[in-house]
Amino acid sequence: MLRTVLTGTAFFRLATTTTLLLCAAQAQTPVTVQTAQGAVTGQQAEANSFLGIPYAAPPVGELRWQPPQPAPSWTAPRDATQAGSVCPQVALGLFPVAGVTPGEVQGNEDCLFLNVYTPRSATADSRLPVMVWLHGGSFTLGSGSAYDGSVLAEKYGVVVVTLNYRLGALGFLSLPALNAEAADQTSGNYGLMDQQAALRWVGRNVAAFGGNPADVTIFGESAGGMSVCAQLASPQAAGLFQKAIIQSGLCLSPGNAVTLAQASARNVRYADKLACRPTDLACLRKVNPETLLKTTVPGLRPASNLVWSPVYGAGILPLTLQDAFAQGRFNRVPVLAGTNHDEGRLFVSAISPGGKPLSVVQYWGGTGLLAGAANLGRVLAQYPVRSYSTPALAFATLFTDAVFSCPAVRVGTALSQYVPVYAFEFSDPQAATSIKTPADLPGLGSAHSSGLIYAFQKPIAGLGSPEQFSPQQARLSDHLSEAWATFAKTGRPTVTGQPAWQPFDPARANVQVFNLMGVQESTAFAADHKCDFWTRLNLN
């Protein structure tokens, strides 16, 4: 018999290799759950994950520009270890992702997939709170799979669902011919209908994953935050969720209240450029997605929310958000709503041609486009360029105030007449990010989207990674993610070791500020962002 004597070093190497192999095997442990469509097999790592589950039929062919239809079923267990395709979109250079060229068209129309993350200990009897994420991206880009809910699920004992919804023209086209074809005589808002279909899927299936279908929180950022507001205002979403988190939502921001009639009339010009008559839906449904995405509406910027965004006045959004909230005609659930201190700094790059520093003339022009020529003098008097180190900083500051901070106060004021509202601001003066800072800004600060890696505590392509955090930023991340998760669990945000939050009171305009020192209540938010001025100006 051959005998082998292992030295201490060799034994250590063998033991280490064995341990790594066992860990790798454990990290890929399959986990199977039975859904209404069939079984899905995900995997267990830092949490259980089930990826690429279809929640509706592929919206292709005759189903393009139709409400989402029932999802397919299957017999053998479906592999749920890989995310499904993203919805068709044009890559944006503002968020650099390795291997992706700006302007490149990504995705497939067969994209109505969702992903489920649960704690490793979850069982069908767990009845855990559920958090459903609606991603941002100006309603023209993004995906659910860009956000990993593993840490939120395992750390806080919740079920996290992320999802795709139709984007751009495929998700929000309104046309007179589509209105005439529809059962309710309306078109557009297909992306919002997708979100509701995903929420109905959650209601039918999340219990099998350990979630409580009667305890669902929807949460979203940017266009996802605006989607949360839209679902609050949609009668068809009643009962599909019990709490809502709005991050940087643009819900009452200038120019976002486009009616169905306005969009339908405008988009005739868009359809004319597709080599189809605007009345020929059979032709339009055969147009290549790349052509749809790269064709612009004459006179409007391709990425403008005025082009592809929710429309109001009929169908699933009978009222504008402003009217729905003011009249109390919305789904009355507790709301957690927040913004970032320096939202507008992200957008300076987008308006600086060729990445060159923003000039004073461009500052004036951008301000005129935002506030209107009639208001230009008054706005420039409030934000004189000489008061800022650069025109870019001046524009970023007024953009933050006009488009994000002050509309958020208006949202909180309106909703708080009917439901508990908790308001916050994320304020890391040098938030971790992978986005390049324009040369004419002192830094991105807590720019638009900067809080997302803090909340999810996972890398997000194009935005950054928690590996970039300093110890203070790691603590800030814990505070923000805990506030979101405890709100989803209890209806009241809580941060360990920090004072209890008070609901938003319009008379005090109290906002909880998340910074490197902790979480403190401030009643100076509205004054800091000149909200009295913007309210009087009333750009809507």
Helix %, strand %, coil % of the chain (to 5): 40, 15, 45
The one catalytic residue in 341, 448, 479, 529 is 448
Q: Give the DSSP letter string of 147-175.
A: S--HHHHHHHT-EEEEE----HHHHH---
In angstroms, the CA 320 to CA 356 distance is 38
> Is the Cβ–Cβ distance between 43 and 169 less than 8 Å?
no
The one catalytic residue in 109, 343, 425, 482 is 343
In angstroms, the CA 42 to CA 51 distance is 7
> Is the Cβ–Cβ distance between 455 and 162 less than 8 Å?
no
The one catalytic residue in 85, 174, 222, 481 is 222
By DSSP bridging, strand 243-247 and strand 39-44 are unpaired
Query: How many C-beta atoms lie closer than 10 Å to residue 285's C-beta?
Result: 15
> Is the Cβ–Cβ distance between 458 and 150 less than 8 Å?
yes
For residue 412, what are the CA distances in angstroms to 335, 337, 474?
9, 7, 28
Is residue 343 annotated as a catalytic residue, yes or no? yes
In angstroms, the CA 467 to CA 486 distance is 24
530, 533, 539, 540: CA torsion to nearest 10: 90
User: Of 123, 313, 325, which is closest to residue 244 (Cα–Cα)?
Assistant: 325
In angstroms, the CA 501 to CA 521 distance is 8
Q: Which residues are catalytic?
A: 222, 343, 448
